[in-house]
Structure 1
Amino acid sequence: MRSTDENGQHAIDGHVGRSGHVPVMLSRVLDLLAPALERPAPVVVDANLGLGGHAEALLAAHPSLRLIGIDRDPVAIERSTERLAPYAERATLVRAVSSELSSVLAEAGCPRVDAALFDLGVSSPQLDESERGFAYSYDAPLDMRMDRDQPLTAERVVNTYSPGDLARVLRDYGEERFAARIARLIAEERSREPIVSTKRLADIVRTAIPAATRRTGGNPAKRTFQALRIEVNGELSALETALPAALDALTLGGRVVVLAYHSLEDRLAKQVLAARTKETGPPGMPVPLPEHQPRFRLVTRGAELPDEEEVTRNPRAASARLRAAERIREPVDEDRA
């Protein structure tokens, strides 16, 4: 399950699974991936498994499908393993970061796949446990780790980064126009006492932002919390590696679907897909050489949005943006795996 609310967190869409949760834009995801999976023994990789809502629906819709699910969070792996128990013989679930996609596929014996799904951002396993500190709506330790075995936490970022580095994180990952002001106030406050809770950080951010600005646009801490979460978990760098790797792994006719929930994710997905769907040869050539022809085509026109019914049912789904592409040519001189 993925969704985005004012905390930069994910919402859910219209299909109730065995666990009672429903994934974002499920029907559209199934429709877009179906042409790639209507072949003998297809393979799909779900690069952000979460609670396994999309995975469950895909396995149910395609009886010969093999699914490889990736998630860095052991809680997500545990819960999705339970959810997907009826399909255990066809589902391989791996605790890993999505940037490790290529090695996960190789170890699973499936270096090539027929479809790939990216459902980005924070998932229910993180949101269900308030003590993990992803939200500003309740008081909790300032953690924000998707993988709780990793050393970097939001508390460490807030209390040890220089004001300049903090401002960079807030500006680049939160698109926060008051990044420098917030960073300066954080530095002042932590000099008195370390900042260890979500409530204290949210209060500091609120104080740093001008009163007139605080009156609109939702909770003033939302961009700061998004930025810290992305920094702690290396989310954009993981996507920068994982999405090209998934495209490289796709078979002819294979498809990828990306669900993004904020502009940074969507912009990166758009750039990666656009680069793969363009000719790469010199301009003005009457007929592009084979090695310069695009290997992919876009399946969606721009970013698709959830329909009004879904948004009405779940307003947090409004931030979802979906893009899809299909492999139309193999790389020149590549031996098929």
Structure 2
Amino acid sequence: MGFFHQPVLLEEVLSYLSCQPEGVYIDCTLGGAGHAEAILDQTSPAGSLLGIDQDETALLAAAKRLKPYGDRVQLVQGNFRWVDELWRASGLVAPKGILFDLGVSSPQLDEIERGFSYREDAPLDMRMDRRQQETAADLVNTLPEAKLARIISKYGEERWAARIAKFIVNRRRQQPINTTEELVDVIKAAIPAGARRRGPHPARRTFQALRIAVNDELEALREGLAAAKEILAPGGRICVISFHSLEDRIVKHTFRSWARENGFTVLTKKPVVPASKEADENPRARSAKLRAIMRSA
């Protein structure tokens, strides 16, 4: 599968990063390197980029795409929660800009065997970093009912969480739930017919919740933002693109707390959202929200 990355809010990201010709920039969620390539073009000829991703497939595709930029690029497999350690290991000077583009990428959804999508049958995996041991199937088949319900409610904002957890536990007593299709069937059985007919796909919220739990996404975001704050150069900027309210809430409150401490200025009083043209051309962009903050010079 090709790991092509159609970057979301690209012009807006470049504007808020305010790329400097000799600056160091960190793309914490490299993906297919769409944002990274544009940043390198903006910082030509002497700017440097550190690209981080958990996903080995993404890194291999990005390395190929960014090969023309030579030693201006360093790529590393890792979790952005440790961006400070990964940056120190790079030997680069303090970054002028740090980008987080959160959530699951379109190529990961399209790579059926990864188990991120509720629309295709696949092993119930959902690991962004396949070096990690625990999968979504492990959670679904081993967690106590109450903990499953909390995860689905908290991370999926699913009103039927308790009922879904109960149905999951009842089904796994008969046989393990090992595939996405098996889980979708359980969720559909748990949600009343009237509720299933309204709104998005009935499995969407539960799949989001399990993905967040498997990859510890929200805690990783909190830690990653704190780590980015510590290493950002004076006058440097942090941009975050989020795709659901849980992420956006964390970013909003984190940036507000930094601004109250002084030394930081929030650049986006309200989140920046895609223009209608981009939302029409790239469905993934529709729920995107960009927030940006700047450290005082």
**TM category, shorter:** over 0.9
Q: Which of 174, 187, 203 is the equivalent residue of 2:185?
A: 203
Partner SS for 1:30: helix
Q: Which of 96, 113, 122 is the equivalent residue of 2:104?
A: 122
Tell me the TM-score normalised to structure 1 length. 0.85
Structure 1 residue 32, shift from structure 2 partner: 1.0
Superposed, 1:137-152 pairs within 5 Å as 137-152=119-134
Higher-Rg structure is 1
Asked if structure 2 preserves the Cα contact closer than 8 Å seen for 1:136 and 1:221, the reply is yes
Identity of aligned residues (%): 47
Partner SS for 2:97: strand
Which residue does 1:175 correspond to in 2? 157
Distance, in Å, in 2 between the alignment partners of 1:261 and 1:130 is 21
Which residue does 2:202 correspond to in 1? 220
Which residue does 2:72 correspond to in 1? 90
Distance, in Å, in 1 between the alignment partners of 2:204 and 2:106 is 18
CA offsets per residue over residues 30-64 of structure 1, 9 Å max, x none? 11112xx325x200111111111100111012112
1:33 aligns with 2:1: no
Distance, in Å, in 2 between the alignment partners of 1:100 and 1:248 is 11
Which residue does 1:309 correspond to in 2? 277
Which residue does 1:321 correspond to in 2? 289
Structure 1 residue 207, shift from structure 2 partner: 1.1
Which residue does 1:11 correspond to in 2? none
| Alignment CA distance shift 1:103-1:33 (3 Å) | same
Distance, in Å, in 1 between the alignment partners of 2:249 and 2:272 is 13
Asked if structure 2 preserves the Cα contact closer than 8 Å seen for 1:68 and 1:92, the reply is yes
Q: Which of 108, 121, 127 is the equivalent residue of 2:90?
A: 108
Which residue does 1:50 correspond to in 2? 31
Structure 1 residue 126, shift from structure 2 partner: 2.1
Aligned residue pair count: 295
Considering fraction of residues, name the structure with more helix: 2
Structure 1 residue 111, shift from structure 2 partner: 5.8
Structure 1 residue 136, shift from structure 2 partner: 0.4
Between 1:305-314 and 1:155-164, the stretch displaced more is 305-314
Which residue does 1:60 correspond to in 2? 41
Which residue does 1:232 correspond to in 2? 214
Asked if structure 2 preserves the Cα contact closer than 8 Å seen for 1:258 and 1:322, the reply is yes
Distance, in Å, in 2 between the alignment partners of 1:99 and 1:204 is 34
What value does the CA root-mean-square deviation take over the aligned residues? 1.5
Superposed, 1:177-192 pairs within 5 Å as 177-192=159-174
Tell me the TM-score normalised to structure 2 length. 0.96
Structure 1 residue 145, shift from structure 2 partner: 0.6
Distance, in Å, in 2 between the alignment partners of 1:325 and 1:62 is 20
Letter in 2 for 1:56: E
Distance, in Å, in 1 between the alignment partners of 2:137 and 2:36 is 33
Unaligned runs of 5+ in 1: 1-17, 280-293, 330-337
Which residue does 1:285 correspond to in 2? none
Asked if structure 2 preserves the Cα contact closer than 8 Å seen for 1:50 and 1:124, the reply is no
Asked if structure 2 preserves the Cα contact closer than 8 Å seen for 1:45 and 1:67, the reply is yes
Letter in 1 for 2:117: A
Asked if structure 1 preserves the Cα contact closer than 8 Å seen for 2:5 and 2:31, the reply is no
Asked if structure 2 preserves the Cα contact closer than 8 Å seen for 1:102 and 1:111, the reply is no
Partner SS for 2:234: strand
Deviation beyond 6 Å, 4+ runs, structure 1 = none
